[in-house]
Structure 1
Amino acid sequence: MTKFDEATQAIRVDDTTYDVCLDDGYSIGGPLNGGYLVATVLRAVVDASPHAHPVSTSAQFLRAPRPGPARVIVERLKSGRTVTTARASLVQDGQPFIEALVTTATLDAAAVPDWSGGPPVTMPGRDACVRLPMPKPESNMTLSAQMEMLFDPPTIGWLSGEPTGRPEARAYFRMAEPQDPDPYVLALAVDALPPVVFSAGARGWAPTVELTWHLRALPAPGWLTLLGSGRLISDGWFDEDVEVWDSAGRLVAQSRQIARVGRG
């Protein structure tokens, strides 16, 4: 079991209840990363389902949970031969922190697309990409140590005061500990990029309010490519779309979230 598998582990208590322990190694300056939290919820949902893969997830973030013990409560809404739909709540101290609707199915790892478009942006090679500087220990940015990311240089121009002026973020991604990507790693990956509003000139914590993501295929081993963009920044809100492409050049995940613009 990898560190990530352990950090997202859900232990069955009964048919609807799972114990989890939220790991402080996935913190972004204090709050836990939303993709990590969703991955933890999905462990419970999939265990409670007759189907193996979370193909569609919509999560509402009600408040930020703290690291430590919590529970996931799963309510099956409908189950059929090809899909099961469930409601899942991440609860801590009797309060719900995330409410999610999840559809599970069983994907064929050998499936060949009937049609597929290409990536919307061509990434430079990994040797032309750059890493973010290691965060200072007092920043409590522990998430950075859990993954390896190589960024398309223009999309991190905000670090040197030269943002592109467009909401965008692009990087190659893999876990820091050797691990082939799976649906739970993809749940983390869709929320792993710096907020796209940084490249548009905004700074500060940008809390996710709602995140929807779709598992489109089971990923091949190797690096993932994350392509993030936004369409509108207005009235203190922004949207962020992310596509995840695997090492075989297949689209394996898509997400959209709406979030608040941070204050730097």
Structure 2
Amino acid sequence: MAQGTIGNSEFDRDTALTRREPGTPGTSAVFDADLSAGWTIGHAVNGGYLLALLGRALGGTLRHPDPFTITAHYLSASAPGPAVIRTEQIRASRSLSTGQATLLQVDEHGAEVERIRVLATYGELDALPEDVRTTAKPPAVPPHERCLSSKDGDPATAPEIAGRLDIRLDPATAGWAIGAPGGQGEMRGWFGLADGRDPDPLALLLAVDALPPAAFELGVTGWVPTIELTAHIRSRPAPGPLRVSLSTRNLAGGYLEEDAEVWDSQDRLVAQSRQLARVMRTF
């Protein structure tokens, strides 16, 4: 695979948008997209990939370029193929812009179905002050060569998205893969794109929902679809692989929360998220 760069990579090609006219620049827009089958888990398109796609659409609509906070409600499972994204700027000030976006597809009956609705606030990451005061610490993840890759398993059972990513899991949080979950509700690992493209804010939106669910380490099996996800982008990431940690503390009533932290190669906390997910099958 050719080395990917920001703006010229598989991720960028698969999140490319075609802007329709009419649309009012700076206030609203309509985009055509083609959801790639390469980012699926089973028959559904990955939620982080979709979040990045909508994030790109809002970045092409709002006055400011970078996502600061973005909240997505996943209304129905997205399928590979054509989609339409409609965006609208709600408010803009000197430092922030707030907008909304929705992704729609046509179902097998020819009816338009809303898949995702997003509300987001954008700004300029490069304009933020450099002062950092934090008690957060990066996760302790073993070196790449001591972590587990999807290539270590049966390729026939790996989801399509595994071929687009370079994920290396901490063996201490991968007991579920051999039928021995640790029971701690944690997942840690390295995250990168398979073609070596460096991370940017859109890649961070993918990263917060790219690792296997932390619920797997509780003994949960099967599909764990996201109901709602809120991501905070805190800084533009430095080049190099990212470290991601996931945790869940409460599975009740068939739903659980999952908190994510994403750290860059300079040990900076560059993204955080929380999602509510549904457990379709428990134990």
TM over 0.5: yes
C-alpha distance in structure 1 between counterparts of 2:131 and 2:261, whole Å: 16
Aligned with 2:17 (options 10, 19, 22): 10
Question: Which residue in the other structure is 1:69 paired with?
Answer: 82
Matching residue's letter, 2:85: V
Deviates more, 1:125-134 or 1:30-39: 125-134
Does 121-130 or 210-219 show the bigger shift? 121-130
Report runs of 4+ in structure 1 exceeding 4 Å deviation: none
Give the C-alpha shift of residue 38 in structure 1. 0.8
Q: Distance in 1 between matches of 2:168 and 2:222?
A: 21
Question: Structure 1 residue 200 and structure 2 residue 213: aligned?
Answer: no
CA-CA distance at 1:235 after TM superposition: 1.1
1:41 corresponds to which residue?
54
Shift of 1:140: 7.0
2:159 to 129, 138, 141: 141
Once the two structures are TM-superposed, the CA of residue 101 in structure 1 deviates from its matched residue by: 0.1
2:194 matched to which residue of 1? 176
**One-letter code aligned to 1:103:** T
Identity of aligned residues (%): 40
Structure 2: stretches of 5+ with no match in the other structure: 1-7, 24-28, 107-111
Q: Structure 2 CA distance, aligned partners of 1:50 and 1:30? A: 35
1:97 matched to 2:115? The reply is yes
Deviation at 1:257, TM superposition (A): 0.5
- Counterpart in 2 of 1:81? 94
> Which residue number in structure 1 is paired with residue 246 of structure 2?
228
Correspondence for 2:70: 57
Give the whole-Å Cα distance in 1 for the aligned partners of 2:146 and 2:101.
Answer: 41
SS at match of 1:108: helix
Kindly tell me the number of residue pairs found equivalent between the two proteins.
263
Q: Does structure 1 conserve the Cα–Cα contact (< 8 Å) formed by 2:138 and 2:269?
A: no
Equivalent residue in structure 2 for 1:209, among 211, 220, 227: 227
Residue 127 of structure 1, CA deviation: 2.8
- Amino acid across the alignment from 1:53: D
Partners of 1:166 and 1:194 lie apart in 2 by: 14
1:191 and 2:204 correspond: no
Runs of 5+ unmatched residues, structure 1? none
Displacement of 1:116: 2.5
Is the deviation greater in 104-113 or in 76-85? 104-113
Q: Could you say which residue in structure 1 is the equivalent of 2:185?
A: 167
3-state SS of the aligned residue for 1:243? strand
TM, length-normalised to structure 2: 0.89
One-letter amino acid matched to 1:177 = D
Q: Report the Cα offset of residue 150 of structure 1.
A: 1.1
Please state if 1:245 is matched with 2:225: no
Q: Which residue identity is paired with 2:222?
A: G
- Is the Cα–Cα contact under 8 Å of residues 188 and 244 in structure 2 kept in the other structure? yes
User: How big is the shift at 1:125?
Assistant: 2.5
Corresponding position: 1:19 with 2:32:
yes
For the 8 Å contact 2:102–2:118, the answer to whether it is kept is yes
| Range that drifts further, 169-178 or 12-21 | 12-21
Distance 1:30 1:135 in 2: 19
State the TM-score, normalizing by the size of structure 1: 0.95
